[in-house]
């Protein structure tokens, strides 16, 4: 199982939210590049970088942070937040991202999202399936759509999507465990998809539970920043 650390950006700072609530913002570091280099030094190879300013504004805001991280580390970065146009996605890939995550755009403008999937291929385009009570949420999680999580994934799976980040917003940043039962169900429905679990990891035990149900990848954020999972535990976990 691949551990993918998360860096969420607001005003150029590395932050975490609780349940997607921008008013519950906590700043952990003013230098995201330092954090990315720390993850690289632990032996981690991937990074989930989220432009929370961009997600709220509907346009990419923190492109320079992406450029710095891609130019100064060897991390494979997937970038999300505010990618709405052909110009946005070109800028993000030109800045060094190897993958992008599209959530709101896949709901609001499926034609452009499918065009990107066709142009760039399923290895570079990740479907962001963020949900509350299995209803898809959009625009930095500020709105809930009328799309069910299962139908949303099924629709894009039929059209060629191979990678899906599934975030349970009710658990995100709460450090109280993940939606293991839901992920197990999704894996049975869509065995050919690389499911990337996100939201709720609070301990090494949560990672072990996900590994036990053969989740391919998991995003970890606040548990690392709050010291709930140590560098030693991460290193040992990825090396066995």
- Specify the length of the chain in residues: 240
Rounded CA gap, 58 and 54, in Å?
Answer: 6
Spatial contact of 7 and 47, defined as CB atoms under 8 Å apart: yes
Q: Which of 53, 78, 88, 130 is catalytic?
A: 130
Rounded CA gap, 153 and 161, in Å?
Answer: 8
Confidence of residue 216 (pLDDT cuts 50, 70, 90): very high
Q: How far is CA 123 from the centre of its chain?
A: 15
Quick one: DSSP state of residue 45?
-
CATH of 2-238, picked from 3.30.565.10, 3.20.20.70, 3.20.20.450, 1.10.3720.10, is 3.20.20.70
Share of the chain above pLDDT 70, in %: 97
Q: Domain boundaries in the chain?
A: 2-238
Higher pLDDT, 79 or 138: 79
Q: Is the model's pLDDT at 9 over the cut of 80?
A: yes
CA distances 98 to 54, 77, 122, 201, Å, are 18, 6, 12, 25
pLDDT in tens, 99-155: 999 998 999 999 999 999 999 999 999 999 999 889 998 765 566 778 999 999 999
**pTM greater than the 0.85 cutoff:** yes
pLDDT of residue 58: 87
Q: Which of 8, 53, 78, 168 is catalytic?
A: 8
Spatial contact of 49 and 68, defined as CB atoms under 8 Å apart: no
Rounded CA gap, 144 and 154, in Å?
Answer: 18
Is residue 130 part of the annotated active site? The answer reads yes
171 contacts: CB under 8 Å, gap ≥ 6: 19, 177, 178, 179, 199, 200
Quick one: DSSP state of residue 214?
T
Rounded CA gap, 129 and 111, in Å?
Answer: 17
Spatial contact of 126 and 77, defined as CB atoms under 8 Å apart: no
């Amino acid at each position: 199982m691949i551990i993918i650390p998360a860096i969420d950006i607001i005003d150029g700072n590395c932050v975490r939210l609780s349940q997607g609530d921008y008013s519950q913002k906590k700043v952990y570091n003013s230098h995201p590049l330092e954090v990315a280099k720390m993850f690289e030094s632990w032996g981690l190879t991937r990074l989930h970088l989220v432009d929370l300013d961009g997600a709220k504004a509907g346009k990419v805001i923190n492109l320079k942070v992406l450029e710095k991280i891609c130019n100064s580390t060897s991390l494979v970065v997937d970038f999300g937040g505010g990618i709405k146009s052909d110009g946005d996605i070109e800028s993000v890939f030109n800045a060094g991202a190897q993958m992008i995550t599209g959530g709101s755009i896949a709901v609001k403008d499926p034609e452009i999202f499918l065009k990107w999937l066709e142009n760039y291929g399923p290895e570079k385009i990740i479907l962001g399936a963020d949900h509350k009570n299995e209803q898809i949420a959009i625009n930095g999680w500020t709105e809930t759509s009328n799309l069910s999580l299962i139908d949303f994934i099924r629709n894009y799976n039929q059209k060629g999507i191979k990678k899906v980040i599934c975030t349970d917003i009710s658990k995100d940043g709460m450090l109280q465990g993940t939606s293991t039962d839901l992920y197990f169900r999704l894996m049975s429905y869509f065995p050919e998809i690389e499911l990337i679990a996100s939201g709720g990891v609070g301990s090494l035990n949560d990672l072990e539970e996900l590994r036990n149900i053969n989740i391919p990848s998991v995003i970890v954020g606040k548990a690392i920043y709050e010291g709930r999972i140590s560098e030693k535990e991460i290193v040992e976990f990825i090396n066995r």
